[in-house]
Amino acid sequence: MGDHADDLIFQGFEMMLEGDDFAGYTGDVTCKFCGKTGFEWVQTEVGWRLMKDLVVHECWKRDGFDPFKENKTMLRPTLQDFSLVMEEKLQEKDYKGGWEGMSVRELKMRLEEEIDELDEAIEAVDLREILDECVDVANFAMMIYNNVASKIDSLLGGMNEKT
């Protein structure tokens, strides 16, 4: 492993061994980086992690760095990964044309169809299909958002031109 990774691992072990934050405690553990509370140390397949309600804590303030303070457009890694998959799927369907000409009602109907397909994939426990349908649901929700936001912008733009 690289020196940086080794340092991070060592810091993690140091943090686990300090006072009340000993690994395995199920009490109210506080993140030493961001100050959030209510976590517990849980051993996962990749090592010990701070967790709350079975969700791994992703502290953005390690080593004093807060990417949202530094760069408001930075996306969480999970959101960035998901949005890239959304974009890939949209590009695969570019031949169909855009959604800008579709009504919100039409898009909502398509969204409901995709939700039904997601339900079927979940019932069938088809993991790949679940992922695929999640992307479809998100894309149709985004299309509705985009069309409504465009309408609001055009209404506000028209109002601003009159004043």
Q: Which domain holds residue 15?
A: 3-67
Domain count, the chain: 2
**Residue with more model confidence, 4 or 100:** 100
Q: Based on the fold, state whether residues 84 and 36 are members of the same structural domain.
A: no
Q: Based on the fold, state whether residues 81 and 51 are members of the same structural domain.
A: no
pTM of the model: 0.55
pLDDT tens profile 37-56: 888 877 666 566 777 877 77
Q: Based on the fold, state whether residues 60 and 109 are members of the same structural domain.
A: no
pLDDT tens profile 110-141: 999 999 999 999 999 999 999 999 999 999 99
What pLDDT score does 72 carry? Answer: 57
Q: Based on the fold, state whether residues 80 and 158 are members of the same structural domain.
A: yes
Residue 72: partners with Cβ closer than 8 Å, 6 or more residues away: none
Q: Based on the fold, state whether residues 99 and 117 are members of the same structural domain.
A: yes
pLDDT tens profile 3-45: 554 555 545 544 444 444 444 455 677 876 677 888 887 766 6
Given CA atoms 124, 125, 128, 133 in this order, what sign does their dihedral have?
positive
> Above 80 in pLDDT, residue 106?
yes
Q: Based on the fold, state whether residues 147 and 88 are members of the same structural domain.
A: yes
